[in-house]
Amino acid sequence: MAQLTDVYFVDGVRTPFGRAGDKGIYAHTRADDLVVKSIIGLMERNASVPKDRIDDVAIAATSQTGDQGLTLGRTTAMLAGLPISVPGLAIERMCAGALTAVTTMGASIGVGMYDVAIAGGVEHMGRHPIGSNADPNPRFVAEKLVDPQSLNMGVTAERLHDRFPQLTKERADRYGMLSQQKVQEAYDRGDIQKDLVPVSVADADGAFSLATVDQGRRPETTLEGLGALKTPFRPHGRVTAGTSSPLTDGATVSLLAGGDAVRELGLTPKMRMVSFGFAGVEAEVMGIGPIPSTEKALAKAGLTIDDIDLFELNEAFAVQVLSFLDHFGVADDDPRVNPWGGAIALGHPLAASGVRLMIQLAAQFEQRPDVRYGLTAMCVGLGQGGTVIWENPFYTGKKAKRK
């Protein structure tokens, strides 16, 4: 008889993230191949896990068409060399696709239906821009269910500035600059590269090279430079390219397991899932979505925001993160928040980003045995938020020395 069990994040890897478009490193690479490369890399790093023990593969994509269609979990599992007995599925919750893949597989493990699963996501925004091939029901506009402009994420970010005047452009610019700086500092220490799976890529002439680092970083960013950028979503607005996540291509995958499987296979998990929550908000201000989803997750866990010592927040826009921090009384430059930077510098390949947050949090847990709880959270288009709270299995309660 199936029994409830703990759910563990055993490991996670991702491709380097590339700029979307003709100048991006993946301009001539298929989206599903990015997932395949990631699954192969994940299984190579976890060779003690028999491939036939994988109970399911859940891969998310926002635009499920072309090379991001055809039941990604199943097709990429087959292409990655997993046994034909391993099933798979596709998941779609826009930006929170991979996060939802993890919670869906995690819940299946938690109730004893699965032992081991793979969860992740992919987005090739150069080939499949957000909303491409979508056909929204005309009732959304005719019945005024949403403002038509709420489908433009940049416009929703501008509306956060409108709703919360204390979230100034100057605060957003500073946050964007710090994200770039923190990512570069993490690169200089070698913190990020160890979880990147190199990808062989071809250019327009067919010449091959190896993608090994994230392409969109701009460590030279200054406040002066940010202040001079255009505001593309509104004349005289406050949201710029420097305070927004860039259009990005990339894939992420994670290995999840239940407590019995961890013991049986001799695994060393990196995080334990404590709770998760999803919530809906007005589509016009979708950036506040992580606030109620975090409140839900905290309540389920019996924790408060003061129990969280590390925050991995997806930086769709600087103002969106700032709205979360203000609500919970956390300073803009609090060292607990995105210590290694975030999506403003690394990029946000929509459905892939949730597991990128988890990969970074897991790596920080390993370095920080003084930290017990952390969370991963993100806003979602059309007015949603998603949050997962994690416990550090390396927690000792003693302050760690920085490596």
Q: Which two three-digit tokens encode residue 361? A: 């949090």
| Interaxial angle between packed helices 72-79 and 31-45, expressed in degrees from 0 to 180 and rounded to the nearest 10 | 60
Looking up tokens 């991702």 gives 14
Alpha carbon distances (Å) from 384 to 255, 281, 283, 299, 336: 25, 6, 8, 18, 24
Residue 237: exposure state from Cβ atoms within 10 A (0-12, 13-18, ≥19): middle
Catalytic residue among 124, 128, 161, 379: 379
**Distance between CA atoms of residues 235 and 237, nearest Å:** 5
Residue entry with tokens 């019945």:
143
Whether 348 sits among the annotated catalytic residues: the reply is yes
Residue pair 366/195 in contact by the 8 Å Cβ criterion: no
| Backbone phi and psi for residue 116, each to the nearest 5 degrees, phi listed first | -140, 140
379 is catalytic: yes
Q: Which of 124, 128, 161, 348 is catalytic?
A: 348
Out of 28, 95, 124, 327, the active site residue is: 95
Q: Give residues with Cβ within 8 angstroms of 225, minimum separation 6.
A: 242
Secondary structure percentages of the chain, helix, strand, coil, to 5: 40, 20, 40
Q: How far apart are CA 12 and CA 364, in angstroms?
A: 13
Which among 272, 239, 269, 264 has a CA at the least distance from the CA of 372? Answer: 272
Nearest alpha-carbon partner for 393 in 105, 11, 120, 49? 11
Residue type, 327: H
Cβ count within 10 A of residue 30: 16
Backbone angles phi, psi at 38, to 5 degrees: -70, -45
Quickly tell me which residue has 């990005």 as its tokens: 248
Alpha-carbon span 247 to 352, nearest angstrom: 12
- Find the helix or strand (DSSP H, E) in which 292 lies: helix 290-301
Residues involved in catalysis: 95, 348, 379
